[in-house]
């Protein structure tokens, strides 16, 4: 398409320019540039599980506008994309889509083909097929590969200027290698360790869960008041509990040391109802006299406070829950005969069934006092889980994160303060999280699709593993799969044999890999040259909800490995809200797919809406804004078409303009105003205020079209010096505006640019304010301001008279101060042509000055009335002609 040919359209621009950009490598990183010239972005790898929703697109588009600005301003932008495909979300999706479950005990079936289920909901829980670990992992890879293609399509549709040649996936060889290498180094420096300890546990997924992945959910529960008979024959002690099914795991009851009701009987014993186990009465300051009856049942383990009591009061361990959340089959050995006799009724039951049974037994024994009182209370869940977490004892890997080391925590907070946060108030979320850590970072998961721990254990002559002295993989051999490969010096035949070995069966939590995205993207220990040019990175953009996970853990890994911050800046995007301003639910975000919005409003329309949200500020979905954005994009095409149609070679006109061809005062005035806008937008972008840059540019652009363009276009049609001045001014302004809108409307800007320029606008230099000022002489904006306000008065008069805008004006009387009349005089010809004015009379007045030192015609009229002086525009229209 050319400027003159047909009516400009936005349709098809996404596909057209995406193809051109890919083919010509517009966004390809030039790795010959030095670190000082490079701007590197630690793009969040989206979780590849199904479909990208609008909330993700919102933040990525904002960052893309920054990336495009940085590229135009002369930085070489390093902008990779990653896919976070390892971990539980993928496993869960594979289970649903293929109807399979992983059974590590099964042998691998080569060439196994499993059809994806068309309707996963209908087929759920039916025909579940058990497959080997290796087959399961194959299916994970198969599905994520499909999803990644779909994701890349969406990102390209919305115009992300990433270099697709730099893409990584958190399960790929490079990421597994980096994650294993970083872990081995943590281990060797003593920053990682394994420990057998009570751990929050999801009974459905059967994996340990980290502090950062907990959520509280209000859950229905009920108080049960139990009577504990005192061993010394004193009055029974009443204990409230919401977990009566854990009564057989009770190891003590605990009260506050100052509580007068209980402190004198501390150390004596009570007998648990039904089960008849003698447990001590103990004291601890964490017991709250105001909760329940003021004395609590300590079980191993009911909640995290139990762990503290158990540890600090040196209580015994009496676990009754298996890892699948059911009670033990075998009768616990600590139960006396009376308790042991009821166990067969409880064995293997889930907690709900066990609760019902135990409540029956308590009632029969007369140990349940009063009614069961239903309550709602917050309970800890795994954020991706459906049932409350339990606590089981297991061997897990941890990384020291400052929870138990004040110096490290303070160093991490100090590192956070060296980061520039956009917006700054997000910093406190990080500091609160670091300050509130209470356990080291649990990085192991008892799952399949993840990065294995590169560790084996020797088996002793009786076949028992020796955990204290693990065999570590050699860095050169990474990535390794200890469940599929033997350690050096062993053969596969020795796996599981006495004096042989076993591989660590756990995988790393997905955050243990994604905490290394700067190292992964920049080629740490893989590509030293690239690393030197890109690390530490310039920007980490991300969502506010993962400050405690991703941002914190990345900071931690970088501090441990490099002793430095991983980036200089972090920008935190806001939430997307439903149109009713509630936080967007996943379901509604998926109903409105980004692809559908691109179809309806164009990528530029969608981007315009997204770029109106400032960093960290929540933004409502607003389809009206997307329409406005689309209109702006179309306006850019139309205005470009018009300006470029004024001469045969408008880029030559722009060049002439830069050599002094802009001679008319009003043409210089528009460039002077534009120079100010360029300065403002540049400052805004440098401070990560892309939305301000957009707002200023947009406002100027509409005024440019409505006022300046209308004022000068009739003059610009000619071929004299005045026409050449207008053409030069218009060409310079158009070039500038196209470039200033390019970060926000990359497709329309590129299209309009292509009509008269060589090369991509996205590699064109960002406009220079000082260069523009160089063309304006001593011109001020006043000429344009006065002319525009007079034109507005003329339009107002015509509109009030219900006449068309081409209606001739017989006489225009302008009453104003000398300065403004002089300014008007410099643009009088343009005003007469634009307003179709026959006769102009001017009347000079004095002393009409606005409060802020400026005058415009309308405000001046209001001020002047009180002072008896008139500054007015009188418009006398030609009488209507009868037709």
Partner RNA sequence: GGGCGCAUAGCUCAGUUGGUAGAGCGACGCCCUUACAAGGCGUUGGUCGGGGGUUCGAGUCCCUCUGCGCCCACCA
Residue 699 engages RNA in binding (rule: CB under 7 A): yes
Q: Report whether 584 contacts 577 (CB < 8 A).
A: yes
Candidates 461-469, 559-567, 759-767, 845-853 — which segment interacts with RNA by CB under 7 A?
845-853
* Shortest reach from residue 857's CB to RNA, in Å: 11
* Shortest reach from residue 571's CB to RNA, in Å: 15
Q: Cβ–Cβ contacts within 10 Å for residue 49, how many?
A: 18
Q: Identify any residues that bridge with 193 across adjacent strands, giving them in sequence order.
A: 398
> CA angle, 291 as apex, 290 and 292 as ends, to 5°?
120
* Shortest reach from residue 462's CB to RNA, in Å: 41
* Shortest reach from residue 721's CB to RNA, in Å: 21
| CB nearer RNA, residue 163 or residue 695 | 695
Chain residues 1-60 in contact with RNA, contact rule CB under 7 A: 7-8
| CB nearer RNA, residue 144 or residue 293 | 293
Q: Identify any residues that bridge with 350 across adjacent strands, giving them in sequence order.
A: 326
Chain residues 417-436 in contact with RNA, contact rule CB under 7 A: 425, 428-429, 432-433, 436
Strands 76-78 and 38-40: parallel
| CB nearer RNA, residue 125 or residue 438 | 438
Q: What is the rounded distance in angstroms from the CA atom of residue 797 to the CA atom of residue 752?
A: 35
Q: Report whether 594 contacts 157 (CB < 8 A).
A: yes
**DSSP 8-state class, residue 196:** E
Q: What is the rounded distance in angstroms from the CA atom of residue 568 to the CA atom of residue 423?
A: 14
Q: What is the rounded distance in angstroms from the CA atom of residue 572 to the CA atom of residue 705?
A: 35
| CB nearer RNA, residue 29 or residue 688 | 688
> CA angle, 501 as apex, 496 and 504 as ends, to 5°?
95
CA 73, distance to chain mean position in Å, is 25
* Shortest reach from residue 440's CB to RNA, in Å: 14
Q: What is the rounded distance in angstroms from the CA atom of residue 188 to the CA atom of residue 487?
A: 18
Cα dihedral 505, 510, 511, 514, rounded to 10, equals: 120
Chain residues 441-500 in contact with RNA, contact rule CB under 7 A: none
| CB nearer RNA, residue 214 or residue 340 | 214
| CB nearer RNA, residue 153 or residue 583 | 583
Candidates 25-33, 359-367, 704-712, 815-823 — which segment interacts with RNA by CB under 7 A?
704-712
Q: Report whether 572 contacts 550 (CB < 8 A).
A: no
Q: Identify any residues that bridge with 508 across adjacent strands, giving them in sequence order.
A: 444
| CB nearer RNA, residue 446 or residue 683 | 683
Between 604 and 633, how does the x/- string for binding to RNA read (CB under 7 A)? --------x-x--xxxx-x-xx--x--x--
Q: Which of 377, 404, 417, 763 binds RNA (CB under 7 A)?
A: 377
* Shortest reach from residue 79's CB to RNA, in Å: 26
| CB nearer RNA, residue 296 or residue 392 | 296
Write out the E strands in 618-671: 619-620
Buried/exposed 548-558: b ≥16 CB within 10 Å, e otherwise: bbbbbbbbbbb
* Shortest reach from residue 212's CB to RNA, in Å: 7
Candidates 46-54, 123-131, 664-672, 706-714 — which segment interacts with RNA by CB under 7 A?
706-714
Q: Give helix 746-754 / helix 594-611 axis angle, nearest 10°.
A: 80
Q: Report whether 262 contacts 281 (CB < 8 A).
A: yes
Chain residues 635-694 in contact with RNA, contact rule CB under 7 A: 635, 638-639, 641-642, 645, 692
Q: Identify any residues that bridge with 274 across adjacent strands, giving them in sequence order.
A: none
Chain residues 575-604 in contact with RNA, contact rule CB under 7 A: 575, 577, 581-583
Chain residues 191-220 in contact with RNA, contact rule CB under 7 A: 211, 214-216
Q: What is the rounded distance in angstroms from the CA atom of residue 557 to the CA atom of residue 519?
A: 10
Give the count of residues interacting with RNA (CB under 7 A).
90
Q: Report H helices in 462-545.
A: 510-514, 517-522, 528-534
Per the listing, tokens 């920054």 go with 66
Chain residues 222-261 in contact with RNA, contact rule CB under 7 A: 223, 240-243, 254
* Shortest reach from residue 839's CB to RNA, in Å: 20
* Shortest reach from residue 660's CB to RNA, in Å: 26
Q: What are phi and psi of 757, to 5 degrees?
A: -130, 160
Chain residues 509-568 in contact with RNA, contact rule CB under 7 A: 544-545, 548
| CB nearer RNA, residue 292 or residue 484 | 292
| CB nearer RNA, residue 663 or residue 792 | 792
CA 639, distance to chain mean position in Å, is 36
* Shortest reach from residue 5's CB to RNA, in Å: 12
Candidates 106-114, 163-171, 324-332, 798-806 — which segment interacts with RNA by CB under 7 A?
798-806
Chain residues 274-333 in contact with RNA, contact rule CB under 7 A: 286-288, 291-297, 302-305
**DSSP 8-state class, residue 117:** P
* Shortest reach from residue 617's CB to RNA, in Å: 5
Q: What is the rounded distance in angstroms from the CA atom of residue 120 to the CA atom of residue 98?
A: 8
Candidates 477-485, 648-656, 695-703, 813-821 — which segment interacts with RNA by CB under 7 A?
695-703
* Shortest reach from residue 694's CB to RNA, in Å: 10
């Amino acid at each position: 398409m050319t400027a003159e040919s047909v009516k400009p359209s936005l349709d098809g621009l996404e596909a057209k320019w995406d193809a051109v950009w890919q083919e010509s490598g517009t966004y390809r990183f030039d790795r010959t540039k030095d670190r000082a010239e490079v701007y590197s972005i630690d793009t969040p790898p989206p979780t590849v599980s199904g479909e990208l929703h609008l909330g993700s697109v919102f933040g990525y588009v904002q960052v893309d506008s920054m990336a495009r600005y940085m590229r135009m301003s002369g930085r070489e932008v390093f902008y990779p994309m990653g896919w976070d495909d390892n971990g539980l979300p993928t496993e869960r999706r594979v289970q649903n889509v293929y109807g399979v479950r992983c059974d590590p005990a099964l042998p691998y079936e080569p060439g196994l083909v499993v059809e994806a289920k068309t309707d996963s909901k209908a087929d759920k829980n039916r025909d579940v097929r058990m497959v080997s670990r290796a087959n399961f992992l194959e299916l994970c890879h198969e599905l994520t590969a499909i999803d990644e293609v779909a994701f890349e399509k969406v990102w390209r549709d919305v115009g992300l200027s990433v270099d697709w040649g730099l893409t990584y996936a958190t399960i790929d060889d490079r990421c597994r290698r980096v994650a294993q290498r970083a872990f081995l180094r943590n281990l060797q420096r003593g920053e990682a360790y394994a420990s057998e300890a009570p751990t929050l546990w999801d009974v459905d997924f059967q994996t340990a869960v980290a502090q950062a992945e907990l959520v509280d959910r209000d859950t229905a529960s009920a108080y049960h008041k139990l009577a504990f008979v005192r061993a010394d024959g004193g009055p029974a002690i009443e204990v409230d509990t919401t977990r009566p099914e854990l009564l057989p795991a009770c190891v003590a009851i605990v009260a506050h040391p100052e509580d007068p009701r209980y402190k004198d009987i501390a150390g004596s014993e009570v007998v648990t109802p039904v089960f008849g186990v003698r447990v001590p009465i103990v004291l601890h300051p964490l017991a709250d006299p105001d909760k329940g009856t003021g004395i609590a049942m300590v079980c191993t383990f009911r909640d995290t406070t139990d762990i503290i009591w158990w540890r600090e009061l040196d209580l015994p361990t009496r676990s009754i829950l298996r890892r699948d959340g059911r009670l033990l089959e075998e009768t616990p050995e600590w139960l006396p005969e009376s308790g042991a006799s009821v166990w067969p009724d409880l064995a293997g039951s889930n907690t709900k069934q066990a609760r019902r049974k135990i409540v029956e037994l308590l009632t029969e024994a007369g140990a349940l006092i009063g009614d069961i009182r239903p309550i709602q209370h917050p309970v800890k869940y795994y954020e991706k889980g459906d049932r409350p977490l339990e606590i089981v004892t297991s061997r897990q890997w941890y990384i020291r994160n400052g929870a138990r080391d004040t110096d490290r925590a303070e160093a991490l907070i100090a590192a956070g303060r060296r980061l520039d946060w956009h917006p700054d108030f997000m910093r406190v979320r990080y500091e609160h999280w670091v300050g509130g850590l209470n356990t080291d970072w649990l990085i192991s998961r008892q799952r399949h699709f993840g990065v294995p721990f590169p560790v084996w254990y020797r088996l002793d002559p009786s076949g028992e593993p020796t955990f204290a002295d693990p065999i570590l993989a050699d860095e050169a051999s990474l990535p390794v799969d200890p469940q599929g490969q033997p350690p050096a010096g062993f053969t596969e035949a020795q796996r599981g044999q006495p004096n042989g070995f076993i591989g660590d069966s756990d995988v790393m939590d997905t955050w243990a890999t994604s905490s290394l995205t700067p190292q992964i993207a920049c080629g740490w220990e893989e590509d030293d040259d690239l690393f030197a040019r890109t690390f530490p990175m310039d920007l980490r953009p991300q969502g506010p909800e993962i400050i405690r996970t991703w941002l914190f853990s990345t900071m931690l890994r970088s501090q441990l490995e490099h002793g430095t911050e991983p980036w200089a800046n972090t920008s935190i995007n806001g939430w997307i809200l439903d149109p009713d301003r509630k936080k967007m639910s996943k379901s509604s975000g998926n109903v409105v797919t980004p692809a559908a919005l691109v179809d309806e409003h164009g990528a530029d329309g969608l981007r315009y809406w997204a770029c109106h949200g400032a960093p960290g500020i929540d933004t409502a979905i607003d389809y009206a804004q997307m329409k406005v954005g689309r209109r702006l994009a179309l306006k850019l095409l139309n205005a470009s078409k018009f300006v470029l149609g004024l001469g045969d070679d408008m880029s030559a006109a722009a060049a002439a303009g830069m050599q002094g061809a802009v001679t008319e005062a009003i043409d210089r005035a528009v460039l002077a105003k534009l120079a100010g806008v360029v300065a403002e937008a540049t400052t805004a972008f440098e401070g990560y205020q892309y939305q301000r840059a957009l707002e200023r540019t947009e406002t100027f652009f509409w005024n440019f079209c409505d006022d300046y363009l209308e004022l000068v276009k009739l003059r610009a049609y000619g071929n004299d010096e005045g026409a050449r001045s207008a053409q030069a001014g218009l060409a310079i302004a158009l070039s500038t505006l196209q470039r200033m809108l390019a970060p926000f409307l990359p497709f329309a800007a590129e299209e309009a640019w292509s009509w008269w320029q060589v090369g991509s606008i996205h590699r064109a230099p960002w406009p220079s304010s000082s260069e523009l000022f160089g063309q304006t002489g001593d011109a001020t904006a006043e000429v344009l301001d006065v002319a525009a306000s007079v034109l507005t008065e003329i339009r107002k008069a015509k509109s009030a008279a219900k006449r068309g805008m081409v209606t001739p004006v017989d006489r225009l009387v302008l009453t104003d101060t000398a300065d403004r009349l002089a300014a008007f005089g410099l643009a009088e010809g343009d005003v007469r042509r634009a307003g179709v004015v026959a006769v102009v009379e001017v009347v000079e007045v004095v002393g009409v000055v606005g409060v802020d030192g400026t005058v415009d015609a309308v405000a001046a009229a209001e001020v002047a009335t009180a002072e008896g002086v008139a500054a007015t525009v009188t418009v006398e229209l030609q009488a209507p002609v009868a037709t």
